[in-house]
Amino acid sequence: MEVVMKRLLLVLFVSVWCALPPVYGGVEALLTQEAQSAPAAALSPKARARVFPALAALPADTDSYFAVSKLGDIFAGLLMGEIPGAEVVAELDGFALGMSEPAVRDLERLMPLFQVLTSAESIAADQWSKKATPEAARAIVAQQREARHRAGELLVQASRDFHLAPIYVVLTCKPGSEALLHQLSVLPLMIPVEPDGPLVLMARGSSRGFYLRGDSIDLTEAELAPEHESEIARNLQHARLYVMAEVIGNKLVFSVCSNLDEVKLPRRAAQSLLGTPKMAAFDALMKRDAVALGSCSPAVVNMCEKSNLFAYRGAAAFIGAVFKRLGGENAAMGAAANAVEQMLQQLETLLTPAQGAEEMMLWREPGGFCMQLVSDAGNLSFAPGVLSFGAYHDAPDTLFFAESTPLQGLPAVNVPGLLQLVEEVQQAYINTLLPEYAEAEARSLRELQQARPGLEKLASGGQKIASALGGSMAVLVQEGDAAAKNPAFSLRAAVSDAPVLDEGIRQIQEAAAELELPACFGGAGPLQVQQQADAVLVSTGRGLPLALPQGGAAVQGGAVFSLNIQALAREMKRVRASETDAAAMLASGVKKLEGASTIRGKMLYTTLRVVLNKNN
C-alpha cells in the first residue's frame, strides 16, 4: 500500500502542475495555517461521496485507505494525445484503495511467503561464494542450507490456515461513462490461463475474475527441504486467492481475498467508510478543492517499516552467521560477527521512524496546491523561537532557503565506534577472500584506516558545533556569479556556548587539512567563518548577514523552507549547458516549492505548497 500511495502521489504532483492559475501568504504562514479548519458541522455521507466517490465503495470497517478525487480531470492535460488509452483515463472520476485491520494482520502473517522467495541472503551468498576461499565457501554453503531450513519453517507457519481478509481497489467514472466500467470489469477474465494451471477463471453472481490455486504453486525455486515442501503443499491444498471485479452503479470494485463470503460491498454511502466518525477529520478538507487523502493505521506503518528493513536485516544476519561459523579459535571472526549485529542495530535505530498513524491530504489553492502529511513525531520536538530571515525565500536569486527553530531529539551516531565496527567487518571479509580478490578490498581498508583519524575529528567537530548552537538556524543557497563553479552557500546559527563552538570549528579545520578537503565550498569562493558571542556565519561570500534583521516572526517551534524552481533552472543552464532542455521543462510549469514542519502534541505536521507560474 505504501508503494502504491507514494507512486500515485508522485504522478499527482507532476500532473496538477499543468492544470491550475500566486498562493496567498508568506512561507512562515504555513506554520500557523491549519490543514483542517476549526471543527465545523460534520458533512453527510452523501456530501463526502460527492468529493471522494470511490470511498463510498469501501466498507465501514476499512482501517487504512487512500483516495483520489477528479482523477480524469487531473490526468487529462498530461496524458491526452500522448499515451494510448489516455481518453479512457479522462472518463474516470475517482480511485480508492482500502483494507481493514484483519487484512493488515493477515498481510503481516503472510509476509514470509513474499520475503523468503525474494530473499537478499541468496544474492549475497552467491556473489560472496564466487570470491571466497574454500573454507569460507563451505561456511557460506552451510549457512545457506541453514537459512533455507529456517525459511522452510517460516513458510510452513505462514501457509498454515492461509487467510487474507478482503483488500479493495475502486474506480469510479463520470456520469454517462458507466459502460466503461463494465468494459474494465472483464480485465480479470483476459489473463492467459492454462489447463491444470494455477489460475482459474470464474464468475459468481455479478462478480467475475479468477483465483489462484494454492495446490498448484511451484515451490522448487525456493529450494526447500522435502519435508517442508510437502507440509506447505498440504497447508495450501485448499487455499485460494481470489481477484474479483464487480460494477455497482458508477463504481468498479476489485476485491482480493481468500474467502469471497467475506467481501462486503456497501450499496449506500451511509453504510460505507464515508458514514463512519473516522472521516470527520477530513470534512474541512472536503470543503476545499480536495484532490487526495489517505490514512495509514499504526499497524500498516509498522508493517511497511519491517518490510523496508528486511533486505538489510537478512543480508547482515547472513554475513554475521558466516563469520560466526568461521570463528572457532579465530577471535577476529567472532568479533566481526558481533560487529555486524551492532551495525544492524544502529541501522535500524536510524532508519526506523516513529510508527504511529499517518495521514495525507492534498488540495488545490489559488495559484497552486497544498499537501499536508501528519505522522507520529516520536522523540522529535521543536523549541519555540523567532524566524528572522523569511524575506530571503522570495529573493529572485535564492535557490534554496530554510530556517528552523532548535530541533531536539535527533538520534546520535557514535562515529568512532561505527568506524571501528566497519573496520572489523571489512577485515574479516577480506580474510574470507581468495588472494586475487582480497588485495583490492585491502587497499580500500588501508584508505579507510588512513582517513579514520580525520573522519573522527570531523565528526567530533561537527557534534561540538551542533551542541553549541542553541537557537534558530538559517541556510541560504543563491545563484552563483559568472566566475563561480557552483551556487553560493551561507549558514547562520545562534550560539549558546561560544568556547565549545570554537573547539568544534578548530577540529573541523584540522580534519579538513588532514583529509585534504578543498578550502572552498564547491568552487563558489573561499569558505568564510564570522563569529560573534551569540551567532556564527559560515558562507562562501555573499548571503545571510551575521546580525539579525529588524523584526521576525515568533513561532511556537518549527521549520520552513523554499525551493525556487525558476532560479534552479537558470543555475542548471549556467553550470551545465547540457541541462538546458531539462531546465526549461522544469521551469515551464512551477515557480516555487514551499514547505513547513511543526509539532503539535505528539504529531508532526508537514505542509508542502506548489506555486505555479502565472503564465502557466
Closest CA to 459 of 512, 521, 402: 512
Phi, psi dihedrals of residue 85, rounded to the nearest 5°: 90, 5
Which three cell numbers mark 64?
A: 487504512
Mean pLDDT of 478-502: 85
**Cβ contact 596:606 at 8 Å:** yes
Q: Domain extents for the chain? A: 300-356, 374-612
Dump pLDDT digits (tens) for 546-564.
888 887 888 889 999 999 9
Is pLDDT above 60 for 536?
A: yes
The share of the chain scoring above pLDDT 90, in percent, equals 33
Closest CA to 558 of 610, 592, 594, 595: 595
Q: How far does CA 497 lie from the centroid of its chain?
A: 36
Dump pLDDT digits (tens) for 291-343.
999 999 988 888 887 776 766 777 788 888 899 898 876 788 888 999 998 98
Give the model's confidence band at 29: pLDDT under 50 very low, under 70 low, under 90 confident, else very high: low
pLDDT score, position 586: 66
Average pLDDT, the chain: 82
Is pLDDT above 70 for 84?
A: no
State the DSSP code for 249: T
Is pLDDT above 50 for 8?
A: no
Rounded Cα gap, residues 449 and 463, in angstroms: 21
Rounded Cα gap, residues 151 and 228, in angstroms: 9
Dump pLDDT digits (tens) for 375-416.
888 888 999 988 999 888 888 889 999 999 998 888 878 889
Q: Is the pTM of this model over 0.85?
A: no
**Cβ contact 65:83 at 8 Å:** no
Give CA angle at 468 (463, 470), nearest 5°: 120
Mean pLDDT of 71-77: 62
**Cβ contact 357:297 at 8 Å:** yes
pLDDT score, position 445: 93
pLDDT score, position 366: 83
Closest CA to 457 of 503, 390, 412, 525: 503
- Rounded to the nearest 10 degrees, the angle between the axes of helix 298-327 and helix 101-117 is 30
Rounded Cα gap, residues 76 and 560, in angstroms: 33
**Cβ contact 188:245 at 8 Å:** yes
Mean pLDDT of 244-267: 94
Is pLDDT above 70 for 41?
A: yes
pLDDT score, position 531: 86
Is pLDDT above 80 for 271?
A: yes
pLDDT score, position 78: 44
